[in-house]
Chains A and B, each alone.
Chain A
Amino acid sequence: MSDDIWILGITMTKFGKHPDKDTIDLAAEAAMGALRDGGVTMKDMGLLAAGCLMQSNAGIGQQLQKQIGQTGIPVYNVANACATGATALRTAIMAVKSGEIDMGLAVGVEKLAGAGLLGGGGQPKSDKKEWSPSGRYGAVASTDGRIGAAAMPAVFAQVGMEYGHKYGGTSFELFARIAEKNHAHSTLNPLAAYTKRMTLEEIMNDVMIAYPNTRSMCSANCDGAAAAVVVSGAKLKTLSLEQQRRAIKVKASVLTSDPYEEGCQVLPNVNTLTKNAARIAYEQAGVGPQDLDLVELHDCFATAELVHYDNLGLCEEGGAADFFMSGATWRDGTTPVNVSGGLESKGHPIAATGIANIWEVCHHLRGEAGPRQIEGAKVGLAHVIGLGSACGVHILEKSGL
């Protein structure tokens, strides 16, 4: 058994609209791509962990096996909101780390183009006939829109606004500038769903969804898949020098949920579980935020990106607004954040996201990112949040070979 865990092969599909491909086509494209990238086959895999949040009871892993290889290995179908992909990856990592297997495959896939607003609505209860209390709040009518908002754009708008209330320095324009950065970054990413640079004015004048988030400050629902092959350090040593050179070391792999705090069941607290995950990850990896050459974090909305600068320790507590305004998180800054374009432009096919962000980091650490390469990148961090909540943080390091 080896303590070292490596990513041997990893890939993501183009994110966007794939009307000609079904969910399994996309999952197969990513899985076969990751195997090819790692120079291995399904026969080498000791486990398959798979996630597709919108089809979380469909046995997506077994469906995938039936298209690309039924080798009889255990399948774990996982669902963990927007952290589903990271959870699948972490499942494979845990299995390798336990010594039970020496190689595993993780896949995340989603068909989400045109899905529209997520998280709102609630029970289809009409305001007629007889009021009848139901549910844990004894509600006689749907509460979405009557007792605050249930839909994601407003929930995460409030997350950003709460940060502003606590520390100051936030404004509609500041949040819009974060989207301006990510849309600018996306122009260098051919796999992003949207690659159009947008001006600050265009972003602020776009359709308002939930103030202060306009449409171009929201993550884009789209289709996509990503997959990764995980290998033990001991097994990696038996593979070719080229495989060893391109392998990326998993310095930390952490999954947390939200611990109880006042108010966390009123507005989801996405901060503490991210802070906890980051702290554990930095300890595991033996690195600090200052050592990170790039960060892919969960900008499901522009208002969310801001708070995670702080949660991941990229800036001083309370200093996220100043940190961003210093230019630090642009691709030429001291801590480039979301050079892929982030979820706001790359897109957010939910279960794929938690592996695609790791692919982005690996791509740079391997020196294979082409025009958007962060030069000399050695260490990177990938973060996702699934509301409810689950947080995945992975710290990755390039091979010393």
Chain B
Amino acid sequence: MANQIPLVDYLALGDQPHLTALECTSCGARYFDRRNACAGCSGTEFASVVVQNDGIVKAFSIVTFAAPGVPVPFVSAIIDCGGTSVRGNIINCEPSPEVITLGMPVRLATYVLGTDDNGVEAIGFGFEPAN
């Protein structure tokens, strides 16, 4: 297997790929980016937690017009993963409103988005229909 690198820090690869979040130890707010402090309570201590792979679509948009260099169509979505909101594309299905619906169950899926000159694969993630 080639060397791999995740598209973003908060995608953990391996046998069971999953997302991780930084959880504020004071108020429980979860973040995906490097933090200076908590936006909810200004706390400065965070613990890395696993975000569940299953969720439901709570908002989506089928994007057919995007900035130069961004391939279309793609489906932008907000997924409720057990109470943690996650942004990601809906993948592995037709990008149509007949297929993608609000409340639809989805689960995390990964894919290879490219290989660099060193042979390292970058791994992206999205959410695919669970049914």
Contacts and interface: CB of A to CB of B under 8 A. Distances in A.
A161 B85 contact: no
B78 A208 contact: no
A370 B33 CA distance: 52
Interface of A, helix, strand, loop or mixed by DSSP? loop
A9 interface: no
Given A127-B113, A136-B34, A146-B124, A161 B65 contact: no
Q: Which of A145, A212, A262 has the most CB of B within 10 A?
A: A145
Given A139-B8, A145-B72, A158-B60, A121 B122 contact: no
A158 B124 CA distance: 22
Q: Which of A144, A150, A209, A210 has the most CB of B within 10 A?
A: A210
B70 A209 contact: no
B64 A211 contact: yes
B74 to A, nearest CB: 5
B23 to A, nearest CB: 12
B116 A148 contact: no
A377 to B, nearest CB: 36
B85 A157 contact: no
Interface residues of B, number: 53
Contacts of A129: 116-117
Interface string B87-131: 111000000010000110000000001101110101011000000
A141 B8 CA distance: 8
A281 interface: no
B8 A147 contact: yes
B12 interface: no
Interface in A278-334: none
A266 to B, nearest CB: 4
A250 interface: no
Contacts of B78: 148, 158, 162, 263, 266-267
B63 to A, nearest CB: 5
A122 B68 CA distance: 10
B13 interface: no
A147 B97 contact: no
A139 B8 CA distance: 4
Contacts of A120: 66-67, 70
Contact of A209 (B33, B64, B71): B64
Interface in A100-125: 117, 120-122
Interface in B23-73: 29-34, 39-40, 57-72
Given A129-B117, A148-B77, A140 B7 contact: yes
Given A137-B33, A263-B85, A161 B70 contact: no
Nearest to A209: B65
A137 B8 contact: yes
B117 A128 contact: yes
Contacts of A164: 102
Given A133-B5, A139-B8, A172-B97, A165 B40 contact: no
Contacts of A32: none
A130 B85 CA distance: 31
A161 B65 CA distance: 18
A144 B67 contact: yes
Contacts of B118: 130
B83 interface: yes
B111 to A, nearest CB: 10
Interface string A208-226: 1111110000000000000
Contacts of B66: 117, 120, 144-145, 149, 151, 154
A234 interface: no
Contacts of A147: 7-8, 87-89, 124-125
A207 B73 CA distance: 13
A193 B62 CA distance: 27
A359 B33 CA distance: 41
B114 to A, nearest CB: 5
A142 B69 CA distance: 10
A145 B70 contact: yes
22 contacts: A131-B5, A131-B120, A137-B32, A137-B34, A140-B6, A142-B70, A143-B7, A144-B66, A145-B63, A146-B74, A146-B113, A146-B124, A147-B88, A148-B78, A149-B76, A151-B63, A154-B76, A158-B59, A165-B102, A208-B65, A211-B63, A266-B87
A-B CB proximity, top 7 nearest:
A263-B85, A138-B9, A120-B67, A121-B67, A157-B61, A145-B70, A149-B76
Interface of B: 5-10, 29-34, 39-40, 57-72, 74, 76-78, 83-89, 97, 102-103, 113-114, 116-118, 120, 122, 124-125
Given A121-B68, A131-B116, A158-B77, 8 more contacts: A140-B5, A142-B70, A145-B67, A146-B113, A148-B78, A165-B58, A211-B61, A266-B86
